[in-house]
Each structure stands twice: as C-alpha cells, then as structure tokens.
Amino acid sequence: MPNTPIMTVADLHKTYGKAGSKQYEALKGIDFTVNEGEFVGIMGASGSGKTTLLNMLATLDQPTSGEVTIHRQPITHLKGNQLADFRAKEIGFIFQDFNLLETMTAYENIALPLTLQNVAMKRIKPAVENVARQLGIAEFLTNYPNELSGGQKQRVAAARALINQPAMLFGDEPTGALDSSSARELLDLFSKINREQAVSILLVTHDPFSASYCQRILFIKDGRIGQELKRGDLPRKDFYQQILDTLGTFEQ
C-alpha cells in the first residue's frame, strides 16, 4: 500500500501569452509524485507559480505541455462532461475564500456534490451528517454561511470537499482567511483526516505554520521545484524550524 502513486506530474509547462507576442513562462517543467495517503505541501513566494500549478492539478486550467495523472487517469485533456464528472468524483477543493454558496444552508452546501450526481436523498442525509460530525459542525447544518464564523465556514467547505470521498484533496491557502486558533483547528483536522481516512492532501501555502503539518514540502521558485523537504519522524515544532531555515536560504 505505501508508495503507490495517486498523482504523478510529468514535465509540466505553462506559458501565458500567444505565440509571437510577449510571452511569460510561469511553469518551466515540474515533475513530482504524490503517494496514496500522503500530505504534501507546496510553498513559494507570490508569483512563484504555485497557484498556477494548483490550477493545473485541480483541472481548473490546462497546461501548455506535460501530463498530470490522478488515480491512474490522465487529466490534462479532459473536457466537458468528463471533466465535470472527474471534478465531482475524484477531487475535493478547499479555497482561501471558502467559496460557499451563500444562498444555501451549510447542509445544502455540503450535500451539493452528491445531489449533482443525483444520489438518492436517503443516502445523502447520513453521508452529510457523518462528515459533519467528523468535522465538528453537526450543530450548524441549518445555518446559512453568513451566520457562521470563518473557521466554521472553512470546515463546511472541507466537509463539502470530502463528502464524495475524493482521491485527492486540494487546499489553496485554506487558512489564509482564518485567525490563528481556527487555523490550528483546521490543520489538526486535516492531519486527522489524512491519518484516519488515508485521504491524500495537497496543500498550497506560503505560511510556514500551515506547511509544518505536511509530511513533505516542495519549494517552488520561478516556475521550478527548487528544493524538497521531508519531515520523516521529526516532531512538528522542529519541522517548523527546519521550514523557516529553508525559506531563509531558499528565497535569497
């Protein structure tokens, strides 16, 4: 079971601007794999290409060249319904600004990926309640997003991302809009889900504290992977210090 790749990224390039005009190469050949049940972080300064990379991996954007495979399925050329089905079944997404639909209750937001697949109502209810219990939001299910705190909103978003048991969970600065205690709770939650349910997580962040929860960190600089850091059996506090040190030299 360990070391089975869930996602492989091979020679990924992304160039902005049409041929002939002024072009900008945001990604200059990225290679890495994420194993099943792994918790990987991607770090880099603003403009390093980490968000571009995440958008490619999560099928929100198409690379100029290269291939991404998730769950043995090449995803870079998916289109239309296949793409929608893939997003709905194989991946979960958590955004910095929550991206909850403010017109729907927490329950309805969490259930959305299942209703999109036309899952029967009597199967949706236990699934939502189950994931809500795990994430500690069972009592907020009837509330609308604007009646929840930032931390609660992000847990609702996490529940929505997890409800269809995705192969990969992507996080784009999920703690960016949270206060420190909410951020800590959410990251603990990620670790727990990762440990107990073996969900593979890919987290994009520029915050060393968030990154210290990962098992492995890839540092991106100017469109390339510059360095890789593995936690191994290191306690989280020491790993945090190691990240800080790496960042200190890496960004020079």
- Binding residues for other proteins, per CB under 8 A? 60, 80-81, 84-89, 93, 99, 101-104, 108, 111-113, 115-116, 118, 120-121, 124, 144, 146-147, 160
Residue 222 CB-half CA count within 13 A = 4
Q: How far is the CB of 195 from other proteins (least distance, A)?
A: 26
Q: How far is the CB of 139 from other proteins (least distance, A)?
A: 17
DSSP letter (8 states) at residue 249: H
| Residue with token string 């500690």 | 136
Closest Cα to residue 58, out of 217, 225, 171?
A: 171
Q: How far is the CB of 94 from other proteins (least distance, A)?
A: 11
Which CB atom, from 127 or from 225, has the smaller least distance to other proteins? 127
Which CB atom, from 43 or from 54, has the smaller least distance to other proteins? 54
110-127 residues labelled b (16+ CB within 10 A) or e (exposed):
bbbbbeeeeeeeeebeeb
Which CB atom, from 168 or from 217, has the smaller least distance to other proteins? 168
| Residue with token string 């059996």 | 233
| The pairing of beta strand 216-221 with beta strand 91-94 | unpaired
Q: How far is the CB of 81 from other proteins (least distance, A)?
A: 5
